[in-house]
Chain A
């Protein structure tokens, strides 16, 4: 008998207009000690299954049919009190974002002991002892001190360990991990996944691992279920599903995963369901001002760039302490290339990008753009002329668009600001841009919240292209997106670089993506560039220990099927 069995589960969300079926007749079973992957794009219904098991469906969602059984006992349809008794006790959950899933105003000890006592009762001393054991078990050093600290005193990876400790409080039978490592760096991700694997083995816990990351699935899970639009399209042992996928959707999903080993000309897009949106690069190229890229000359010359942030304020200069975010960084960006910057969070890669964009003042060193020093520009006219050529695409498509502005105003803003056009011309240009990024000009009348993440990132691209820049700074442009959407956005960026001759500064922590996108890559660590190489050279022969360590931690995708992929000639 399986630990957790889901039979013919259907979850519906009645809305005013229609009934939305989020989960459609799904069967699933998990054995003790097994890690079962649940993979699919956003909106595929994988998180809804997790919520249904926990009895935490958001209103007005409801289980329309089917049963969920835990060790043979039906748990779907239990009343609220009985469900609360199971939650945290028999079934636990780990959420995606460790930064927000802990209450910031309570110490780790308080949050652990309250959970332990809510389920097991017992004295304070017992609960404290158990809390200490758990914190120790999940690999947090110095548990006695750490227990009395608040969540904000922990790093992202350590917080996720605390969350796991909380999930383990009462020896659950099943843990549902909903994107547990999406918000973490590669190296931390590997540690957390190892911990989950160990715990599943050691305590014979069944784990449902919900993710959209095929690399995580391939590395961690024993079995995998692939979902598309609320339905299960394929299920089976991981090596089989990943190696010889039988369903068309699974095949295209696997094909869309950027490979570290194989350089392709374009990112394969998911064609399943016929959702491809055209990106009209040819139309754009017609209007684009022609500039010959002389690859021998650098667009940007960055010399000894330094940025310090004030860490401790003080009235007197010697009371102040600074944190050096960028430390003596020098590199050139050649005309027409895609220059990658990789590194973990806190390595200073975004800070470099922001200084180039002129968003942060420079504390030391110079930035030279086409022969002109721009890092000390104070003249507003000169600064504007410079900024017209530099545009930025941000990581988070949700917060980088003003929610109270209509999309056509968002895209028109740079044109108006730089006074490039007036009156009806602006409108025509905005419509063109929206058509060209594949949204259609009618999108201009809507507001950002009416679009999905990928569509919003297209709006960002349209906005960035509005001034016809020569240089685009892309700060993790796809890390918030699904694999399939990521492929679309990256292909657009590639097209821009190839057809319009734009130069790209591409910042990412995702090494396979960098491999596909970039011509040259700088590896940053603690504010310094530790290695700068041609991309192929870096992936083949990393020169520094840090770079090889990063490459080693990258999820291995060797098991993945390579059907339909052809290496670039």
Chain B
């Protein structure tokens, strides 16, 4: 078990090093940072001075090493556009994205699993069929369209919910939260639905098909033959067996909820890191882009690590295999 975790960590480090290399190459090769930083009016002396200052005259491996050293300490340099350290900017923006991702991820998992189990058990029922049909819409509509539709219905026509922004926020330490104010919570509803809808329908369909498979398994028949109640069979025996493949997909999907919050944040003008990233692209703000890239890859790697550990918790066969293999 311990050896397994260590091995997985080592693999994660390799992944991060590769992503770091990509982020680093952006500095080096996407335009000349000197060009970006100095205006049209510049002298050769200015260029040389800045080059030495930024360490760009040193060999590339040395530069990469320095970049990594700084990155590990959370230092990605100064934003070209805002002139402030990137780490501060991201720290300001991260709570908004994380809160949004948390709410929509929670919605997607709970609703997805509940509806998936429901539609599997009542396969022939009218309600299940309606849910399945509606879920097709969730899968096939692009996120930005769902967002715009929701804004049109709930903000423009019904005027129930705000169409943009986070509402009022409260600072707890360095963390700005929208959970504690009514307007903050109201502002969360539409973006969370928009962001989570696709994941929810995906999880639901996955749970449903896995569940149908498991319900046909011999051990479910045997559980019936032992006279266990439907509730125990469906929610204890079947659901747990459904979880292994579901966790794989869900883990990856949660990563993408954070990573692809960009679109939702743009539609709702949500002041999170996604919006920051979009703005950074527009202004070729490379330090911000590199930091964002690293942040997202750290999240993906962490989530994958958690997923692998969850397998262990759920499936005893893996525990023994890991010891034996």
Provide 14 A-B residue pairs closer than 8 Å at the C-beta atoms, listed in order of the A residue.
Answer: A54-B225, A56-B225, A88-B228, A93-B222, A95-B221, A100-B218, A102-B219, A103-B219, A103-B223, A103-B237, A106-B237, A118-B226, A118-B229, A312-B324
CB interface residues, B 126-157, toward A, < 8 Å: none
B219 touches A93 (CB 8 A): no
Contact-residue bracket for chain B: 20 to 34
Cβ of B180 under 8 Å from chain A: no
Q: A313 on the interface (CB 8 Å rule)?
A: yes
Mark out the residues of chain B between 290 and 325 whose CB falls within 8 Å of any chain A CB in the assembled complex.
Answer: 314-317, 320, 324-325
A152 at the interface (CB under 8 A from B): yes
B122 at the interface (CB under 8 A from A): no
- Does B227 reach chain A (CB closer than 8 Å)? yes
Determine if A13 is an interface residue (Cβ-Cβ < 8 Å).
Answer: no
B227 touches which of A102, A105, A115 (Cβ 8 Å): A115
Q: Is B222 touching A150 in the complex (CB atoms < 8 A)? A: no
Q: Specify the chain B residue showing the minimal Cβ separation from A310.
A: B325
Residues of B within 8 A of A (CB): 217-219, 221-229, 232, 236-237, 240-241, 314-317, 320, 324-325
Which residues on the B side are within 8 Å of A200 (C-beta)? none
Closest B residue to A150 by beta carbon equals: B316
When the two chains form their complex, are residues B218 and A88 in contact, meaning their CB atoms are under 8 A apart? no
Q: Are B222 and A101 in touch, CB under 8 angstroms?
A: yes
- Say how far B225's CB is from chain A's closest CB, in angstroms: 4
Query: Does A153 belong to the interface (CB within 8 Å)?
Result: yes
Please tell me if the beta carbons of B218 and A87 are within 8 angstroms of each other in the complex. no
Nearest B-chain residue to A119, judged by Cβ: B227
Residues of A within 8 A of B320 (CB): 150, 152-153
Q: Which residues of B contact A118 (CB under 8 A)?
A: 226-229, 232
Q: Counting CB contacts under 8 A, is A86 at the interface? A: yes
Q: Which residues of A contact B (CB under 8 A)?
A: 54, 56, 84-89, 92-93, 95, 97, 100-107, 114-115, 118-119, 150, 152-153, 163, 166-167, 169, 310-313
Q: Measured between C-beta atoms, what is the minimum distance from B124 to chain A in Å?
A: 10
B222 x A102 contact (CB < 8 A): yes
List chain B residues, Cβ under 8 A from A312: 324-325
Q: Contact between A105 and B240 (Cβ–Cβ < 8 Å)?
A: yes
A88 and B225 CA atoms in complex are apart in Å by 6
Which residues of B have CB within 8 Å of A102?
Answer: 219, 222
Contacts of B241 in A (CB 8 A): 103-105
Complex Cα–Cα for A114 and B232 (A): 9
In whole angstroms, how far apart are the Cα atoms of A311 and B324 in the complex?
A: 6
Name the one of A86, A100, A105, A114 contacting B228, with C-beta atoms under 8 angstroms: A114
* A88 interface neighbour in B217, B227, B317, Cβ under 8 Å: B227
Q: Is the CB of A87 within 8 A of B219?
A: no
Given contacts A88-B225, A150-B316, A166-B222, 17 further A-B contacts (CB under 8 A): A84-B228, A87-B226, A87-B227, A93-B222, A95-B222, A100-B217, A101-B218, A104-B219, A104-B315, A104-B316, A105-B316, A114-B232, A118-B227, A118-B232, A152-B316, A153-B320, A166-B226
A107 to B315, CA, bound (A): 11
Given that A100-B218, A103-B237, A311-B324 are contacting pairs, would A115 and B316 also be in contact in the complex, using a CB cutoff of 8 Å?
A: no
The 7 closest A-B pairs by CB, nearest first: A88-B227, A87-B227, A100-B218, A88-B226, A93-B225, A150-B316, A101-B222
Q: Which listed residue, B218, B225, B226, B237, touches A97 by the CB 8 Å rule?
A: B218
User: CB-CB < 8 A to A166: which residues of B?
Assistant: 222, 226
A150 to B222: give the CA distance in the assembly, Å. 16
The one of A89, A101, A310 in contact with B219, judged by C-beta atoms closer than 8 angstroms, is A101
The answer for the CA separation of A115 and B225 in the assembled complex, in Å, is 10
Interface of B is mostly: helix
Q: Are B325 and A85 closer than 8 Å at their CB atoms?
A: no
Residues on the B chain within 8 Å of A152, using CB: 316-317, 320
Query: Are A92 and B225 closer than 8 Å at their CB atoms?
Result: yes
Residues of chain A lying within 8 A (CB to CB) of residue B227:
84-89, 115, 118-119
Q: A254 to B325, alpha carbons, bound, how many Å? A: 47
Distance in angstroms between the alpha carbons of A106 and B320 in the assembled complex? 14
Minimum C-beta distance from A423 to chain B (A): 42
Closest Cβ of chain B to A309, distance in Å, is 10
A119 partner residues in chain B, CB cutoff 8 A: 227
Residues of B within 8 A of A115 (CB): 226-228
Task: Tell me, in angstroms, the Cα distance from A150 to B217 when the chains sit together.
Answer: 17
User: What is the CB-to-nearest-CB distance from B216 to chain A, in angstroms, rounded to a whole number?
Assistant: 10
**CB-CB < 8 A to B221: which residues of A?**
56, 95, 101
Q: What residue of chain B has the Cβ atom nearest to residue A86's Cβ?
A: B227
The answer to whether A169 and B226 have CB atoms under 8 Å apart is yes
B contact residues around A153 at 8 Å (CB): 320
Q: Is the CB of A163 within 8 A of B222?
A: yes
Residue of B219, B229, B236 contacting most chain A CB atoms (<10 Å): B219
Q: B229 to chain A: which residues have CB within 8 Å?
A: 84, 118
Closest partner residue, chain B, to A115 (CB atom)? B226
Q: Complex formed: what's the CA distance from A452 to B5 in Å?
A: 47
Q: Using CB atoms, name the residue of chain A closest to B227.
A: A88
CA of A189 to CA of B224 in the docked complex: distance in angstroms?
Answer: 25
- Across the interface, name the chain A residue whose C-beta is closest to B214: A103
Give the shortest distance, in Å, between A131 (CB) and chain B (any CB). Answer: 13
Q: A82 to chain B: closest CB distance in Å? A: 11
How close is A292's CB to chain B, nearest CB, in angstroms? 49
| A54 CA / B221 CA spacing, docked (Å) | 11
The answer to whether B324 and A92 touch across the interface, beta carbons within 8 angstroms, is: no
Indicate if the CB atoms of A95 and B218 lie closer than 8 Å.
yes
B224 touching A87, Cβ below 8 Å: yes
A488 to chain B, nearest CB (A): 29
Q: How far is the CA of A310 from the CA of B317 in the complex (A)?
A: 17
CA distance A167 to B222 in the complex (A): 9
Residues on the B chain within 8 Å of A169, using CB: 226
Q: Complex formed: what's the CA distance from A136 to B229 in Å?
A: 27
Which B residues are in CB contact (< 8 Å) with A86? 227
In the complex, A150 Cα to B314 Cα: how many Å? 12
Given A103-B241, A104-B316, A152-B316, A313:B325 Cβ within 8 A: yes
Question: Which residues on A sit within 8 Å (CB–CB) of B232?
Answer: 114, 118
Q: Which residues of A lie under 8 Å from residue B325 when comparing CB positions?
A: 310-313
- Given contacts A311-B325, A312-B325, are A92 and B226 in contact (CB under 8 A)? yes
Q: How far is the CA of A88 from the CA of B317 in the complex (A)?
A: 27
Name which residue of chain B comes closest to A313, CB basis.
B325
Chain B residues with Cβ below 8 Å from A163 are: 222
Q: What is the distance, in angstroms, from A83's C-beta to the closest C-beta of chain B?
A: 9
| A481-B96 Cα distance, complex, nearest whole Å | 63
Inside 8 A of B218's CB, which chain A residues have their CB?
A: 95, 97, 100-101
A167 to B221, CA, bound (A): 13
- Bound state CA distance, A534 and B158, in angstroms? 90
Q: Which of A86, A93, A103, A163 has the most CB of B within 10 A?
A: A103
A10→B224 CA distance, assembly (Å) = 23
Residues of the A chain whose Cβ atoms lie less than 8 Å from the Cβ of B226: 87-88, 92, 115, 118, 166-167, 169
Which chain B positions have C-beta within 8 A of A87?
224-227
Looking across the interface, which residue of chain A has its beta carbon closest to that of B319? A150
B240 partner residues in chain A, CB cutoff 8 A: 105-106
Chain B residues within 8 Å of A100, by CB: 217-219
Return B287 CB to nearest CB of chain A, in Å.
38
For A97, list chain B residues within 8 Å (CB): 218
Residue in B218, B225, B320 with the greatest tally of chain A CB atoms within 10 Å: B225
Measured CA separation A100–B217 after assembly (Å): 7
Q: B239 CB to closest chain A CB, in angstroms?
A: 10
CB distance from B324 to the nearest CB of A (A): 6
Q: Closest CB of chain A to B229's CB: distance in Å?
A: 7
- The complex places the Cα of A166 from the Cα of B223 at a distance, in Å, of 10
